[in-house]
Amino acid sequence: MTASKEMFSTQDVADLLNKVKGHSSIAKLAAQTPIAFNGNKYFTFSMDSDVSVLGENEAKVAGGVTVAPVTIVPIKFEYGARVSNEFIYGSDEIGLQILGAFRTGFANKIAKGLDIAAFHGINPKTGAAASTVIPTNYFDNLVTTTSAFDAAKVDKSLDDAYAVALAADADVTGMAISRSYANLLSELTTTDGIRLYPELRFGGNPAAIQGVPSDVNSTVEKALAGASAVDYAIIGDFANAFKWGYSKEIPLEVIEFGCPDNDTTAGDLKGHNQVYLRSEMFIGWGILDPKAFVRMTKANA
């Protein structure tokens, strides 16, 4: 099997990440930071008590600090597709059209995959199965503070979750909301029929709700197979207590021979006048302080 491989240009990478940012709750709510290929280590530092007020000649007392390391190691996200070998033998215009479509599609898949993996520990390819590459590093596992959704109090449920976050002394810098929950909010009206959240109607996705940065995304409500509850919202300190980023080595392979997708039914590429486009992206993330987040959950029907 032979292949030609090249790296996306700096401009291509920037364009790719812009597309990801537009479709990923994580990328929208948390700023991207460079991640080394062999990982980054962050130290969380917290004071264990409040300051002391001392009188004259009074003995000083210990306060204590807790230092905990969080290592973020990028993992590989991969996507590939077979296309006609017109990509190779056609005009430059055809080649550019195919590459442009593939790059856009890859960005969308990466955006969705990042959320599903980091929120729920799920391998996006399988849909509901846990990824062995992400054994514990995801919100549903590490964020144990939850607040229950109450169907009789649709918007009050979000207030309750927000109150839980504030009680834990967390700074709420963003909230990711499921599409199902956003639809319920969009239907709420005052006694005289005025919509309480008109910005959420017809699939709306405002930059903020009640002044809090937000993103509405179907990826929020994913859950592992057999899970007792699903997330309706994840709120907390996305700006400071969560880090994510990517390694800039983003290869694009054009494979002309063999069966690189291991699809024995599809057969050999050359024998079917096809080539295989494959791209990989190495992304890492870490929840620096799980207590800075609250998951508003709904029983899984």
Residue 139 is predicted with a pLDDT of 97
Q: Read off the pLDDT of residues 245-300 as tens digits, 9 standing for 90 and up.
A: 988 767 778 888 888 888 888 888 888 888 888 888 899 999 999 999 999 999 98
Q: Read off the pLDDT of residues 113-135 as tens digits, 9 standing for 90 and up.
A: 999 999 999 999 888 888 989 98
This prediction has a pTM of 0.84
How confident is the prediction for the chain on average, in pLDDT? 85
Domain extents in the chain = 3-46+67-299
DSSP 81-130: EEEETHHHHS-HHHHHHHHHHHHHHHHHHHHHHHHHHHHH-B-TTTSSSB
Q: What is the mean pLDDT of residues 134-141?
A: 94
Q: Read off the pLDDT of residues 66-92 as tens digits, 9 standing for 90 and up.
A: 667 788 889 999 988 888 887 676 666
Answer whether residue 1 shows pLDDT above 60: no
> Do residues 170 and 292 make contact, with C-beta atoms less than 8 angstroms apart?
yes
How would residue 144 be classed by pLDDT, with cut points 50, 70 and 90? Answer: very high
Answer whether residue 22 shows pLDDT above 80: no
Which H/E stretch holds residue 19? Answer: helix 10-21
12-32 b/e (C-beta count within 10 Å ≥ 16 → b): ebebbbebbeebbbbbbbbee
Which stretch of 134-138, 161-165, 167-171, 245-249 has the lowest confidence by average pLDDT? 245-249
> Do residues 27 and 21 make contact, with C-beta atoms less than 8 angstroms apart?
yes
**For 123-230, where are the alpha helices, taking DSSP H only?**
139-142, 154-167, 179-186
Q: Which residue has the higher pLDDT, 257 or 5?
A: 257
**How close are the terminal C-alpha atoms of the chain, in Å?**
47
Q: Does domain 3-46+67-299 have CATH number 3.90.1690?
A: yes
